[in-house]
């Protein structure tokens, strides 16, 4: 786990106080501006319900999620005004002064004769050049991950990540009149389109790959006739499942179109889950089943092919493992998927740094406590990672995203950068029941925690309190 940073000196502390005041001011401004906002942020589910209104959440997942597109024409002036406020062409002009880079932060492109032509320059983005290409070359501006800069998009995507339990990225597309940025293609993500400015003409086609796991272009002569041919206006929403072939253009007579693409559920399938949990389950099974530890036939690995006998033996093992999982109610352990999500997701919206410091009284046996930031915390059970001879000893990790960097969200961190974002605590495996108890219940008496020793109960609650994850009620 990362070490705690050193305390700042006086001047740095003054700068931190100024930053906290700034965060508080932003919260007050957003609270005032959002009092009559058409979206509800009270809980992740309520937010998603307001996003797809008037359709209900249950109806959406029953009839549309991973099944078929959804088009919502709103004709709601308040919602249209709110959508326009999320991102406009003028916002991009202001952001160019912050050192945006071509390729990393922004692409400029156009679909010509069914092919994507990238018109990026080298280095830093200059809005004057962008506007010239926009006006003269009819190029589309594709701005990556605007939630890094726009607070309201941060709030929207943080709520969606809590709702889906999956990363949520975004792109803004600004396309001039009578132009198209991208050729027909499909994506490996679930897509929600929010039309912010102007109008966009969308054509959707039947998937050639159901629930695709990768991005791919599709030649127009191969995709047939559209299943949906629609025009979105400000305030409208379009959803389509991964694998849905699509293309979009700004119609004639429309100055420009701005839309926001929200994407989620990349590599979040049952297959991905099995790839994550099966190695640890198999490893545990090898410790208790000697048949899995028997040696392979001699020279098996040097054979050009394995043959039906080997396939049959593997099937026997797989059936036995399935029976064991079902009969013994073994708990599967997800590690990589959980760590990927927690280390890359957005931090809580406008979280004050002061909220991360331990506050209030130390927990005692007679106290009642509650977990803070539950939506941004998860448990993993995995090897302890200690440099000891007990290489397979397990521990329980409490991981959280409270100190993640909004500025790098969904920007493709390196392995070292991802590792530096892991935040949390490690406890003995004996503490897992008590930790689940704390996460499951709204309040828990320290004395009632599912641990044998009072010293362990105090040690657990003190560790969480020190990390800023626990409050004494």
For the stretch 367-397, pLDDT in tens is: 999 999 999 999 999 988 665 555 578 999 9
Burial annotation 112-135 (CB, 10 A radius, 16+ → b, else e): eeeebeeeeeeeebebeebeebbe
* pLDDT interval class at 73 (50, 70, 90): very high
pLDDT at 31 over 80: no
Least confidently predicted of 150-154, 210-214, 353-357, 412-416: 412-416
Please give the span between the terminal C-alpha atoms of the chain, in angstroms, as a whole number: 28
Smallest CA-to-CA distance from 232 within 123, 70, 425 is with 70
| Per-residue confidence (pLDDT) for residue 11, from 0 to 100 | 36
| Per-residue confidence (pLDDT) for residue 23, from 0 to 100 | 64
Long-range contacts of 459-463 (CB under 8 A, 24+ apart): 460/427, 460/431, 460/434, 460/435, 461/363, 461/367, 461/369, 462/362, 462/363, 463/425, 463/427
pLDDT at 6 over 60: no
Exposed, middle or buried, 417 (CB in 10 Å: 0-12/13-18/19+)? middle
For the stretch 324-339, pLDDT in tens is: 999 988 889 999 999 9
Q: Alpha-carbon distance 459 to 471, whole Å?
A: 15
Mean pLDDT calculated for residue range 39-48: 96
User: Percent of the chain beyond pLDDT 70?
Assistant: 89
For the stretch 412-437, pLDDT in tens is: 866 555 555 568 999 999 999 999 99
Mean pLDDT calculated for residue range 85-101: 95
Say if residues 184 and 216 touch (Cβ distance below 8 Å): no
Mean pLDDT of the chain: 90
| Per-residue confidence (pLDDT) for residue 148, from 0 to 100 | 97
pLDDT at 19 over 70: no
Which ranges of 52-108 would DSSP assign to H, the alpha helix? 57-63, 77-86, 89-95
| Per-residue confidence (pLDDT) for residue 237, from 0 to 100 | 98
pTM of the model as a whole: 0.90
| Per-residue confidence (pLDDT) for residue 352, from 0 to 100 | 84
pLDDT at 16 over 80: no
For the stretch 283-336, pLDDT in tens is: 999 999 999 999 999 999 999 999 999 999 999 999 999 999 999 888 899 999
């Amino acid at each position: 786990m990362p070490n705690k940073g050193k305390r700042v000196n006086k001047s740095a502390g003054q700068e931190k106080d100024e930053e906290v005041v700034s965060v508080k001011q932003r919260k007050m401004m957003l609270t005032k501006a959002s009092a009559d906002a058409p979206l509800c942020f009270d809980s992740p589910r309520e937010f998603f319900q307001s996003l797809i209104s008037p359709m209900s959440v249950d109806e959406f997942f029953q009839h549309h999620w991973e099944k078929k597109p959804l088009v919502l024409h709103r004709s709601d002036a308040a919602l249209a005004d709110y959508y326009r406020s999320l991102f406009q062409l003028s916002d991009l002009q202001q952001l160019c002064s912050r050192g945006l880079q071509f390729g990393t932060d922004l692409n400029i492109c156009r679909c010509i004769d069914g092919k994507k032509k990238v018109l990026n320059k080298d280095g830093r983005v200059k809005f004057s050049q962008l506007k010239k290409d926009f006006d003269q070359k009819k190029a589309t501006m594709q701005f990556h991950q605007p939630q890094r800069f726009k607070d309201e998009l941060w709030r929207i995507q943080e709520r969606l990540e809590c709702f889906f339990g999956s990363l949520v990225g975004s792109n803004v597309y600004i396309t001039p009149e009578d132009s198209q940025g991208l050729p027909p293609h499909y994506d490996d993500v679930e897509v929600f389109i929010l039309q912010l400015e102007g109008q966009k003409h969308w054509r959707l086609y039947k998937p050639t790959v159901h629930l695709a796991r990768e991005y791919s272009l599709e030649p127009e002569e191969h995709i047939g006739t559209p299943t949906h041919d629609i025009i979105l206006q400000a305030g409208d929403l379009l959803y389509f499942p991964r694998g849905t072939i699509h293309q979009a253009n700004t119609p004639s007579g429309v100055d420009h179109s701005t839309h926001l693409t929200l994407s989620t559920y990349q590599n979040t399938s049952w297959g991905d889950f099995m790839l994550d949990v099966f190695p640890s389950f198999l490893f545990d099974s090898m410790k208790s089943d000697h048949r899995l530890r028997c040696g392979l036939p001699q020279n098996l690995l040097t054979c050009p092919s394995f043959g039906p006998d080997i396939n049959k033996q593997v099937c026997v093992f797989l059936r036995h493992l399935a029976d064991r999982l079902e009969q013994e109610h073994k708990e599967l352990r997800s590690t990589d998927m959980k760590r990927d999500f927690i280390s890359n997701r957005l931090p809580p919206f406008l979280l004050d740094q002061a909220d991360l410091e331990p506050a209030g009284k130390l927990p005692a046996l007679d106290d009642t406590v509650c977990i803070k930031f539950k939506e941004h915390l998860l448990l993993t059970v995995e090897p302890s990672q200690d440099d000891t001879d007990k290489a397979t000893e397990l521990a329980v990790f409490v991981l959280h995203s409270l100190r993640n960097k909004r500025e790098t969200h969904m920007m493709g961190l390196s392995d070292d950068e991802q590792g530096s974002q892991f935040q949390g605590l490690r406890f003995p495996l004996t503490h897992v029941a008590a930790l689940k108890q704390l996460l499951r219940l709204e309040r828990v008496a320290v004395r009632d925690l599912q641990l044998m020793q009072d010293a362990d109960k105090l040690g657990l609650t003190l560790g969480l309190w020190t990390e800023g994850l626990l409050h004494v009620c």
